[in-house]
Amino acid sequence: MKFGTKAIHAGVHPDPSTGAIMTPIYQTSTYVQDEPGVHKGYEYGRTQNPTRNALQNNLAALENGRFGVCFASGLAATDAIMRLLQPGDEVIASNDLYGGTYRLFTRVWATYGIKFHFVPMQDAALVEQCVNANTRLIWVETPTNPMLNIVDIAAMSDIATRHQLKLAVDNTFASPYLQNPLDLGAHLVVHSATKYINGHSDVIMGAIICNDSDIHDQLKFYQNAVGAVPGPQDCFLCLRGIKTLHLRMEQHCNNAEKIAAFLLTHPLVGKVNFPGFTDHPGHAVAARQMRRFGAMLSFSLKEDSLEKAVKVMSATKLFSLAESLGGVESLIGHPASMTHASIPIEERRKTGVLDSLIRLSIGIEDAEDLIEDLKQALECSR
């Protein structure tokens, strides 16, 4: 089955009691049992929910995986993967991570005895140098946030295989439509479904997809035992959003390509980070492992001035100044003060997050209007 068909049909079935074609919102905390221990497979809402099951099965299909497990947020999903580790274990992660993931690793899990190495993963040799007897997990994000670096998932899988490590990929920026890490050798795929998967900026949710049934059993155990589960209404909204994921992603990508080309020629714009450019250092890898190049991009101003960047961000009318990404509407953000404020300034500058760096999440409006909006906002910074 191809992607669009799976988006609409995988994991969902008409409701057996009424024939309702759309998966009902099973807004219930518990399920009545016929006798103690005799039930229909559902005991308690934290443990199982039919709306959540449909979503989990649908997401598994979209990532070409066997199992999906949903969580109350992307970070709760990431947290569940960290629970697979033991004190003393080591993790190699990209030095250009989503700020919240970096915070979870360094301020929560590091205090429980997990050691993290943050390396520029575009260079596979640097990753391999960090591997030692305690290494258990490689954590990849690609494209990265906000620099849009590309990590070669197959190369990371090769290292993981040779050293018997697990490979987890945060696939939020690409979405399952553009990139399927399990096909490239990853063991775990993580999503902030808050972003492209739900796509309408009205749900916070996370998901993990995997193929190994032992890992799936452990994740399901933590889903229930820790309890960071999404509610049924949010699962319904997410399922509804997914039905247009393939159409949305095409329009997101079309718009992003046009806007990236516009920014490239603008006299006030410095560097434009977009993996779709043939001279982007990760372009060849992106072309190999992604269907298209995504709809996230960032750019600095020719004059690296915080003040001028603030002027641009305050002047846009269609691009809303907000954190997050992947919704139908275009967003503009300032990583240094917003999403990446929790990363120390020296770390931030090392990875190229300049004071004037502006990040765009390109929505699915009409590209011409978005370009006009950026044009007038850039003029305001003169």
Ligand X SMILES: *Cc1c(COP(=O)(O)O)cnc(C)c1O
Q: Which is nearer to ligand X, 309 or 325 (CB)?
A: 325
Least Å from the CB of residue 249 to ligand X: 16
End-to-end CA distance of the chain: 52
Catalytic one among 170, 234, 355, 373?
170
Q: Which is nearer to ligand X, 65 or 335 (CB)?
A: 335
Task: Give just the sign of the alpha carbon dihedral 227, 232, 234, 238.
Answer: positive
Q: Which tokens in the block code for residue 125?
A: 């040799």
Least Å from the CB of residue 173 to ligand X: 6
**Residue 66 designated active-site:** no
Residue nearest to ligand X (CB): 74
Going across the sheet that includes 67-71, the strands are 67-71, 206-210, 188-192, 166-170, 135-141, 90-94, 115-119
Question: For residue 133, how far is the Cα from the chain centroid?
Answer: 29
Q: Which is nearer to ligand X, 194 or 381 (CB)?
A: 194
**Residue 46 designated active-site:** yes
Q: What secondary structure does DSSP assign to 99-111, as a single string?
A: HHHHHIIIIIGGG
- Helix (H) or strand (E) run with residue 50 in it: helix 50-62
Least Å from the CB of residue 171 to ligand X: 8
Q: Which tokens in the block code for residue 42?
A: 């559902």
Q: Which is nearer to ligand X, 233 or 376 (CB)?
A: 233
| 124 contacts: CB under 8 Å, gap ≥ 6 | 152, 155, 156, 158, 159
Q: Which is nearer to ligand X, 239 or 301 (CB)?
A: 239
Given a contact cutoff of 8 angstroms between Cβ atoms, the answer to whether 381 and 311 are in contact is yes
Least Å from the CB of residue 222 to ligand X: 16
Least Å from the CB of residue 312 to ligand X: 22
**Residue 220 designated active-site:** no
Catalytic one among 15, 42, 46, 183?
46
Given a contact cutoff of 8 angstroms between Cβ atoms, the answer to whether 206 and 75 are in contact is yes
Least Å from the CB of residue 286 to ligand X: 16
SS3 55: helix
Q: Which tokens in the block code for residue 71?
A: 């969580």
- Residue 219 sits at the vertex; the CA angle it makes with 94 and 112, to the nearest 5 degrees, is 55
Name the nearest CA neighbour of 148 among 289, 341, 352. 352
Catalytic one among 98, 177, 196, 222?
98
Q: Which is nearer to ligand X, 294 or 301 (CB)?
A: 294
Q: Which is nearer to ligand X, 276 or 326 (CB)?
A: 326
Given a contact cutoff of 8 angstroms between Cβ atoms, the answer to whether 280 and 144 are in contact is no
Instruction: Tokens 């947290």: give the residue.
Output: 79
- Cα 73 from Cα 77, distance rounded (Å): 6
Name the nearest CA neighbour of 199 among 246, 232, 148, 254. 246
- If you count them, how many residues does the chain have? 382
Least Å from the CB of residue 206 to ligand X: 5
Site residues (vs ligand X, CB under 6 A): 73-75, 98, 100-101, 141, 145, 170, 172-173, 192, 194-195, 204, 206
Given a contact cutoff of 8 angstroms between Cβ atoms, the answer to whether 70 and 230 are in contact is yes
**Residue 195 designated active-site:** yes
The residues that are catalytic are 46, 98, 170, 195
